[in-house]
Structure 1
């Protein structure tokens, strides 16, 4: 348990542990008395506040109902006037004009005839309704209720006459024959109701507001400036803000509210509700929980300050004690820091810690031993790096690197091969400028393939040019690499000009061939069609340790490494159809060891064209093979570092950008869908603040590992997009399948149950995900699907987090 506490609070030093336990016991005593006091005071304040809210919402509801009852009574009085009932149009107009001026709460009074058309209107501004004869209101609820002889107060609607949000108070006109003759309608703007609501404002954050049954706010918010600032509404909350809070959901089912809850501004609040106007509107009274607790915090502040004073005193005592213990360990810590700064010669003087405990002396001795080991290891690595550099610089073969078609590195042997005194004379030159026209096409194809496909180019003969124009024959092999973030190629060039001359001489005369063979450093052999040695040059003794007579008449296959036997045999069979080929294989020396041979094979045919003999020119390339292997390993390590995220081990942003670009082009060519999921850890900043950056890093690693384990197709890519944000590329995946994967990802993270005490969504780590699916075309680009997925992610956060939002669903809702 103690180790768990030390890991949890990162108590790595003796001083920090002594401080922790001293402070812990003081806080334990203080909190044992503080917590009961806190809850007693908190419950009292909360109960008083709830009583006040319930009284406020009840009074507000009564006030609204009384106000509308008075307005209905006023409209009823007007509709019962004889001039109105008798439809005296001239007198009706005067009455309505006077009435609207006397009753300031009405913005307009109108007479709607029995067919649903406005015949008379009067407003405080004196403005007339345009095209009133064409406005049919017969389908409105208040008109339908009037035909039934009933008075009516409407919900907030957009008035057809004015185009503004309005509340209609209506009463039917019944003539002396008890026949329906139309309705008198009074238009009340919602801001008039807001004036009634403003009377019930209280405190710094208290407010009352109205929402309809759909949860749409129908009165202006007290905090409209904040809503506009945070982009929740553009200009007004009235009819533009839909309230999804718990109190609205509970009210719609007449259930009690669990307090506190998050209000429509995302602030923890206390509140009460009451239905008014026959359940048409919901009156809500709310106050921020923080305001309620201000008085509680003031009382608790005094108590906490007292505890902190005691903690400070205990901390002072602990510091005195820990200083005596910490001093010997400081020697070790200083030594570690010096080693981190590459000072590997530092050693602790054991005499200085002699008066301390024996354990500290043993620690210092162990540190000195460790420092000596580190120094030896580092020097060994530096020597290895120097040997590797020397290997390339002193290689008997030309080693060059080109990127973007330009030479960026060449060793001294390469400079001499191309007729330069120093490699600097060739740096920056176009690599194609050194190629003979006969080999130009194949070299261009190899360079393009190396850059684009990142595949090793096989051994190939090429005609190159020295700076003075002289032709040189070479064999080249190329490995794709990344140079300064760009595609490049590492090329090894071997000069075979002399060998070419020898091969040509062999074709001219067998005598010349034999003479050249005996003086060549390469091993030259002649075989029959079964592979048996007919002639072996003296170089076989130097290369294979055999005398010529030991090999004559024996099959060359007997010396080939078993793993390479089929490859060499196929090369011999190829000569049935072509006159030249080459192969690379391992061959056994007389000592039993295997060396690498590179062999060029040419045919000698009869007059009829039948294969008669095979001429082989071989050389030992073991050294070059070792160099190639080392270069491949180094290239592989560089490539792994270039696309892997250093913290999480999954693909990084750079790899994500490259793969999205390539998958986008592939989807555009095949007309297949491509889906992208953007994922963000909910309230990760709060997680870092609570658990520290090390805890945050551990969280990121677990989340990344889990995300990477969910997609099960080889083409699916999970990458760290940046910070706490991840991205998943799903090629050839439609929206429905991608949505299932996104939901599976969110559930997988939640199943980790990583504690997150500061989250406003849950007590564990959760994620929000935004999904977008597109059908790429040659005229679109990947930035579009990133933008759509990012918008869906933003909507998921705005909608409460811990969820998946599909871009199409987000737009519709």
Structure 2
């Protein structure tokens, strides 16, 4: 009676409201009793434990980093003291450096720099780079081993450090140095091996740049936090502070690498007070106990709802018997939730009745559409096996049900199209819809073209199936193929020179732009040869234009054959002038190709009585090599090659002259 009065006073008339009331009461009581243990735990003790933990972790990391740095410099020093290195036996040195690089994954590359500062051996990159201005080379000349600060590699464009040691021969003469390049990611891996789970340590240099990966950012990013400022000022840090990523932490630091690098150790406030979270578990146990008490009260309340629940159960049994015309009757004493439930139940039965009727009508319509559709409609399971094939599909492919149902759809697809279809299947799994074009085998062995629209249905792997609507597009594909063949013929006609049969000026412009952009992306060399036939006007005047055309064809053929032999491309630039594009080719190799072309033309022995320099047809060639950058243009490459060609003519013709553009030297 007292409880009913309480419910009436609070306006709690629903079953849900009564349960909430008792649960709120017992949860409040639970929190009161369970929170008492918290007063016996002091935050100061946890802060002291956290400081000790951070201190130990940083000391360990300090030892590890110093040891690791000494190990790497010792590795480099051991190479420089090998007899083959001191003797400057370059072939053996190269084998030693490559073997060392292969067996020491922490090094990105190993190189030998001679006494003039020129790199002569590099296990991963180009050589003949002037490094005499580098700090580690200057220290080596003084006889010092050296570890650089953080550098950004000009070739890798990533942060690195370099370990170097000088080389002296048996007479004590300086002969260069051995240097090892280490990516900063390697240091991250080293530190992670000795990382404490409860805290995080990371390295920064004096500029604040991150040397190792951490939650504060990626390598190469900068931090500006309280602990970094205090470390620069050599001040102790004792209070909580906010990190770069907004976490509230307690931290400490140590300087390493001759006070060039800073180890920062941090532990979040949540980790420090994790014991208090364990107390929450104790609180949860108290809550569980309170829930058990509340359960007893809920049983008492649920008994009041027994009669309405039995009515609902009776209604569900009627649904199971497909008696959808059954309706529940409401009573005044039932809670309002049950009254609403009865109404919803009765409405649901009405909806089910109407849905069943409309579903039957939809099935009839679908069956009619499928039976009379000219497109092939199929259903597959999630692995692609046929579950259903429409009448149109049987007519198109000529298979009976027993010859296709249950078989994997990939079995009927042309082998050349399998990879594309599998890629579309992956797209289907991600997006739920895909359109695929492929060839499929009919019963008589003939392949026809299909265009299929595929939709994924089902929420679980067990329910998943594929609905596929396919159309025979063989005729359309044949038309497209003929159009493509015609386009290819037109394209070749527009880019080939009508007289000589080699690529024309239009093809030259397009290909040079392509190779120029590729060289910029790869920071690689690009060479160009410009050449023309010496005294060709006199040749035409002497032998006639038909002989001149024959001469152009023979010269073009030899240039093309010679260029193909070196993986380069020949073009007719205009009139009697030709060009050759040489991708990824330095000046020395380009000059060799040019000289080969000159000799090949000379060996043709085409008579030329009008020539001042020879009795046979000769050519003059100009070569230019560049490593293109964004600030340069293709016109510069062509202009300098033309200038070299002009110099060849000035120097008596029938020769090769070259020029190379100045470029920034990579690191």
Which of the pair has the greater relative contact order for Cα pairs under 8 Å at 6+ separation? 2
Quick check: TM above 0.5? Answer: no
Query: TM-score, with normalisation over the residues of structure 1?
Result: 0.34
Query: TM-score, with normalisation over the residues of structure 2?
Result: 0.41
